Amino acid sequence: MAGPRRDTRGIVDATELFTRVRFRRREPAPDLRPYLEHYWLIDWDLAKPYASHLVPHPSVNVVFQRYPAPPAHGNGYAEVSGIPPGLFVQRLEGRGRVCGVQFRPGGFRPFAPDRPASDWTGRRLPVDEVFVPPVPPSAVLDPADENARVAALDAYLLALGPEPDPQADRAMALVDLVRTDRTVRRVDELARAEGVSPRSLQRLFAAYVGVGPKWVILRYRIHEALERAESDPAVDWAALALELGYSDQAHLIRDFTATVGVSPTAFARAAIPTLQGRHGEAPCQASRAGRDFRNTS
């Protein structure tokens, strides 16, 4: 890896978010880089509540977080966050901190080899229900020095002792191919390139990624469409649909609306204030978009 990604794909209105929070990506220790995308660190101190919106990557995250909360969570808490099916919305208020671990798609299974990745999809579980030994969230969240927080994440994950797994490597390579090669538009094309049947590919993705290969292909298409909509309000949606491999513009509009919660044209007309007004309530369309997403081919 050449360091953490610098793009903002998946973050809805990244410019607005970055005016309200301090967001950084950090690189993990060398022995962890085969499995992790990066660490992501956020700190905020807000006078008014703000709802962040994310179209998630096909990645499991481990998240250490401290929000204004009752005493039970006064020292923060940690959870394993499986791949959400649709738009992920998080309300931020007051002063808080998050230290997150984004695994590469397929990279979480070596840390939890006894269960398929699909077991975590759509779920958020306390980290001590998944990993032994647990780590006190304060050990990661308390250090004032950012480097110390990164070192605490490194120490914790290295202590878990990920088990090398050739099938995990295979899944990670296939997802990277989907992400970087825009000519990969169909599951059968990906299966032929790998020399397996579509059904075998679906089983691999269920076991190691947590969602089907079709879901991954569609998600990366929506990431690109979202990025285009944010950068060019006059984007030619018919041309973009063709470029992304859709049969027609209507299919792109349907997928975009189901995932983001508003149509592409409404989004391009600066529909973010409407989204922000929901303050933490994910659009109903996003919920419908997640139906059967674990087994989607």
Q: How confident is the model at residue 280 (pLDDT cuts 50, 70, 90)?
A: very low
pLDDT, one tens digit per residue, over 87-131 is 899 999 999 999 999 999 999 999 999 999 999 999 999 999 999
143, 144, 141, 134: which is closest to 75 by C-alpha?
141
pLDDT score for 200: 96
Average pLDDT over residues 162-184: 93
pLDDT, one tens digit per residue, over 184-206 is 888 999 999 899 999 999 999 99
Residue 263 CA to residue 253 CA, distance in Å, equals 6
Q: Which CATH architecture has domain 166-289?
A: Orthogonal Bundle (1.10)
pTM beyond 0.75: the answer is yes
CA-CA distances (angstroms) from residue 15 to 254, 270, 293?
A: 25, 12, 29
Strand partners, 26: 39
- Dihedral sign of CA atoms 170, 226, 122, 93 in order: positive
pLDDT, one tens digit per residue, over 75-88 is 689 999 999 988 89
pLDDT score for 69: 60
- When comparing pLDDT for 131 and 134, which is higher? 131
CATH 1.10.10.60 in the chain is located at 166-289
Q: Does residue 211 carry a pLDDT above 50?
A: yes
Residue 294 CA to residue 119 CA, distance in Å, equals 9
